[in-house]
A and B are shown apart, each in its own frame.
Chain A
Amino acid sequence: MPDQLRSSSATSPAFRDPASEGLLAKVLLILLGLAFLGFFLVLPLVSVFVEAFRNGFGDYYEALIEPDAAAAIRLTLLVAAIAVPLNLVFGLAASWAIAKFEFKGKSFLITLIDLPFSISPVISGLVYVLLFGANSALGPFLKSYGVEILFAVPGIVLATVFVTFPFVARELIPLMQDQGTGDEEAALSLGASGWQTFWYVTLPNIKWGLLYGVLLCNARAMGEFGAVSVVSGRIRGLTNTMPLHVEILYNEYNMVAAFAVASLLAFLALVTLALKTFLELRFGAGATGGRH
C-alpha cells in the first residue's frame, strides 16, 4: 500500500522523495566524492604505470631483468614463501582455539593478536634490532656460531612475519565464530577423528576466508617497507627486497626503473583486490570475514 502511494505520487513532476536528497545535491556529492577519489586513488595508481612505461616497453623490461632487480624479486618471493605459511599455520591454530572453545582471557588474546596492526612498521623492525643487534646479548652469541640474523635473510623474514602476523587469524576468527561448533560436534559424534573433522568439515567451511586472509597476508609480506628497511641493511643483490629496491632506484633518480619494479607491486595489489572482489561477489561478504 505505501509503495503504491509512492509510485503514484512519483509520477507528478513536482514530487521529491523527502527521505532523499534532491538530484542536484546528489550529483554534486557524487562529483565531489569522485574528484576526491580521483586525486587520491586513481591518479596515483595510473601514474605508476605511466611512469614505468615512459621510455617504452624495452626499458621497462631491461629494468626488471637487471641483476639487482632480479635478485630483489627473488628475495621478496622467498621471504613471502616463508612468512605466509608460518602465519597461515598460526592463523589456523589461533582461530581454532578461539572460535571452537570458550576460555578465560579470550578477548585479551584477540587484542594481543591485533597488536602488530597498531605498531609502527619501523618499531616492528627496531625490536629485532634491539634483540639481535651488536650490543644485545643474543646477537654476538649467535654470531659466534656463524648465525647472522640482522642485515641478513632471517631478520627480513622475522620482520615480515611480525607485520603480517594478524592477517590470516583476523579473517578466520570472526568467520569460524559465526559458524559455531555444530558441524564439528556432529562429525566427532559420528566417529571422525580430530584431524578428519578439521580436514573434511572445518576446512571446506572456511576455505574462501582462508584464501582471502592468505592473499592479504601475501600482499603485505611482499610490499612491507618500513620494518624490512630497518633490519635489512639494504645490501644490493643480497638483502634488498622489491620495495627497498624501489627506494634505492628512486633516490638515484632512476625513475623508469623505480616505477618498473613498483609496477609489479602495484599489479600484485590489483590482483589482490580483483580476487577479493570476486570472492565477495561470488560468496557474499560473509566469505571474507569481517573488516581488515
Chain B
Amino acid sequence: MTNIAAAAPARWRLKQPSIIPGFGLTLGFSLAYLSLIILIPVAGLFWRSAELGWAGFFAILGDERTLRALYVSFGTALAAALVNVVFGTLVAWMLSRYSFPGRKLIDAMVDLPFALPTAVAGIALTTLYAPQGWIGSLFMPFRIAFTPLGIVIALVFIGLPFVVRTVQPVMEEIDREIEEAAATLGANRFQTIRRVLLPGLMPAILTGFALAFARGVGEYGSVIFIAGNIPYVSEIAPLLIVIRLEEFNYAGATAIATIMLIISFLMLLVINLIQAWSRRRYGNA
C-alpha cells in the first residue's frame, strides 16, 4: 500500500481503490447519524458554554460547592481505580494462572458490572453496605454507606471489569519461559514478578486504570443511592449537574458538564497515548 502511495503521490484521494461497493452509502450514513446523535448535541453543549464567557464560566467553577463536587468525583474515582488496579490485577492473575473449582463461572461473573443496570447495582450495594445491611453491620460503628467511602465502593464495582479485561489477555500471552529463565538465573519468585512480569503488564494495567478512572468520574446511577448526597461532602459532580437542571440553572449545569467533558477528553487522549506507547514498546496493546 505504501509502495503504491509512494509511486503515485500526485493525486490526493480519500480512499484506496477497491472493487467492494457501498463505501459512499455506508460512510455517508455513518457520518450523518454520528453527527445528528452525537456531534451536533455535544457541540451544542460547548456552544452554550462559550456563551457564558470566560468570566461567567469561571464564576460557576469557582463556586465552593462545584469545586467540592468535582473534588469528590475525581478523588473517589481515583481511589476506586487504585483499588481496582490491585484487586483487578489479582483477579486477572487468579483467572489466568490458577485452576480451582468455579473458575469459569467467576470468569463470566467479572463482566456483571457491564451488564447490570447501574440503578440496580446502586440499590443492591446500598442495602448491603448500609449500617443495618449484611456487610455494613459487620463494620459498625464505622459507617460505609452514605459517606464518600460508599462512593468508592460503588465505583470499585463499576470499574472492576475494565482492569480485569485489559490485564487478563496480556497475562495469558506471557511466555512461561521468561519466568523459568529468571528462576534459572537465580531470581526468587518475588523478584521475577516485580522485575520481569510487572514491566510487561504495566501498559495494560495503566490502560485499565485510566478506563476505570474515566468511567468512575462520570458514573451516576450506582453512586447516588449509596453516597448520601450531602453537599460539600458526598455530592458528586454529575449529581450537581442534575440538581442545577432541576433548578432550571442551565448555565450552571452547562459549565460543570463542559469542564467534566474536557477532562474526559484529556483522559481519552492519555489512554490512546499509553496504548500507542505500549504498541511501540511491547508490540501489543
| A binding-site residues for B, Cβ under 8 Å | 18-22, 25-26, 29-30, 32-34, 36-37, 39-45, 47-48, 51, 89-90, 92-94, 96-97, 100-104, 109, 111-116, 118-123, 126-131, 133, 135, 158, 161-162, 165, 181, 184-185, 188-189, 194, 197-198, 216, 219, 222-226, 229-230, 242-244, 246-247, 250, 255, 258-259, 262, 265-266, 268-270, 272-274, 276-277, 291-292
Contact = CB atoms under 8 A, between A and B. Distances in A.
Given A118-B214, A165-B38, A123 B241 contact: yes
Contact of B19 (A116, A122, A185, A225): A185
A75 B170 CA distance: 42
Contact of A102 (B16, B98, B189): B16
A276 B110 CA distance: 12
A205 to B, nearest CB: 14
B124 A47 contact: yes
Contacts of B40: 131
Contact of B26 (A39, A96, A114, A158): A96
Contacts of B169: 291
Contacts of A21: 189
B20 A265 contact: no
Contacts of A96: 22, 26
Contact of A266 (B26, B116, B242, B261): B116
B38 to A, nearest CB: 6
B66 interface: no
A162 B250 contact: no
B245 interface: yes
A30 B94 contact: yes
A32 B90 contact: yes
A36 to B, nearest CB: 5
A118 B268 contact: yes
B21 interface: yes
11 contacts: A37-B110, A100-B22, A101-B18, A109-B30, A120-B219, A194-B22, A219-B115, A222-B117, A223-B117, A243-B120, A276-B111
Interface residues of B, number: 96
B220 A93 contact: no
Contacts of B124: 44-45, 47-48, 51, 262
Contacts of B260: 120, 123
A235 to B, nearest CB: 14
Given A225-B220, A243-B221, A40 B180 contact: no
B39 interface: yes
Of listed A109, A126, A194, residue having the most chain B CB within 10 A = A126
B41 A277 contact: no
Contacts of B27: 93, 97, 101, 103
A250 B182 CA distance: 56
A276 to B, nearest CB: 7
Contacts of A130: 41, 44-45, 48, 250, 254
